[in-house]
Structure 1
């Protein structure tokens, strides 16, 4: 018969396994001691963008040129169909691995803290929100959990009660940029507007594609008097 202590250890082990996958998301090999989400080899081979070193790259900011002013725009890694980053995004969005989203945000936050001055004078992170029905279905907002990881590494608070999603967006997958913008331009709204007035805000999302969703969120925040909006995403489509 198992002792109470043994049972407690088993329960703790089960809880840890629930929070963190025991297999590497990239190669499906068992994770070693102190490895989280990815094994050391897969983590080293992540296609990092290093955009935090050049946050004013015109190729990045052109996504928003003439639309909304963006303080900076940077992504942690490049997204390629069928690649390791796609596996990571799928895991954090559709397999319940919210702690994996936080872990990845923490990795990026540590990189930003040690290699960049990008986030000086930033007041808060805001994750791009999900509609309440989608949030109930998924159980969490992956953008908020990425933001929590960034927050932990950078000691900048996350505001989860400011930006809300008013209606469910139709799928963006097969839409061009103009169609995506039409799909999201009236989707988001600010509540508790006093929290954003005069503040320097960083929007956080999982993947940057055309930027239409982030543009709509930025426009809404600026409308309510925030001082500036920067954008960080976990991944960016490498076109």
Structure 2
């Protein structure tokens, strides 16, 4: 269970290089098959272990509050789930993570700006090409006045290709003056 990404954000930032402009990017863990991280993510997403989200958010939040680059975040925003998936699962696996990071940074958390319009099948079984085909119209923005000229931290569980984060970031970048940083629980390499 490696967490080298905390000290070397370049690996995470490289995933998005040339795709979206980022202020900062980090991930708590490196995701490897058959690892404790894979087990944690599986428990969180499919076994109802929502407390893992809060725990990982506290962990990363404690680290980020000591990093100058993350001290000017105005809002923490989770990648949203479609309302049907949210109803089925009962929770957004990234919500607790984002809430705890926001607490640690002494900033605001909101899940009411970025909305997932259309349901999509799980990304787990999609290859890189299929993930890259996510469409800009899958997500919508509400209450964009909150984010004008702000710096947000967009949070997700696992960065595989970065397609979901990229799609959301491109939608958010329609807001004038917005700056984006990214944090995730894990990064596949």
> The TM-score by the shorter chain falls in which range?
over 0.9
Which residue does the alignment assign to 2:156? Answer: 205
SS at match of 2:173: helix
Which residue does the alignment assign to 2:139? Answer: 188
Q: Does 1:94 align with 2:46?
A: yes
SS at match of 1:62: helix
Larger Rg: 1
TM-score normalised to the size of structure 2? 0.93
TM-score normalised to the size of structure 1? 0.74
Which residue does the alignment assign to 1:233? Answer: 184
Distance 2:58 2:12 in 1: 23
Distance 2:79 2:128 in 1: 18
The 1:220–1:79 alpha-carbon spacing in structure 2 relative to 1, beyond 3 Å, is: same
Shift of 1:168: 1.1
Which residue does the alignment assign to 2:61? Answer: 109
Deviates more, 1:164-173 or 1:131-140: 164-173
Q: Does 1:48 align with 2:7?
A: no
CA contact (8 A) 1:106 1:149 kept: yes
CA contact (8 A) 2:136 2:171 kept: no
Q: Deviations over 1:93-129 (max 9, x none)?
A: 1122222211111011112223x22312110100000
Deviates more, 1:129-138 or 1:140-149: 140-149
Which residue does the alignment assign to 1:132? Answer: 83
The 1:175–1:234 alpha-carbon spacing in structure 2 relative to 1, beyond 3 Å, is: same
CA contact (8 A) 2:23 2:180 kept: yes
Q: Deviations over 1:158-194 (max 9, x none)?
A: 1111100001123323433332121343211111111
The 1:227–1:206 alpha-carbon spacing in structure 2 relative to 1, beyond 3 Å, is: same
Shift of 1:66: 2.3
- Unpaired segments of 5 or more residues in structure 2? none
- Unpaired segments of 5 or more residues in structure 1? 1-45
Distance 1:145 1:197 in 2: 25
CA contact (8 A) 1:131 1:167 kept: yes
RMSD, aligned α-carbons: 1.6
Shift of 1:52: 3.3
Q: Which has the higher contact order (CA 8 A, sep 6+)?
A: 2
SS at match of 1:186: helix
Distance 1:173 1:87 in 2: 14
Distance 2:109 2:166 in 1: 20
Q: 1:119 aligns with which of 51, 59, 70?
A: 70
Q: 2:34 aligns with which of 76, 82, 85?
A: 82
Shift of 1:63: 2.1
Distance 2:117 2:186 in 1: 25
Which residue does the alignment assign to 1:142? Answer: 93
Aligned residues: 189
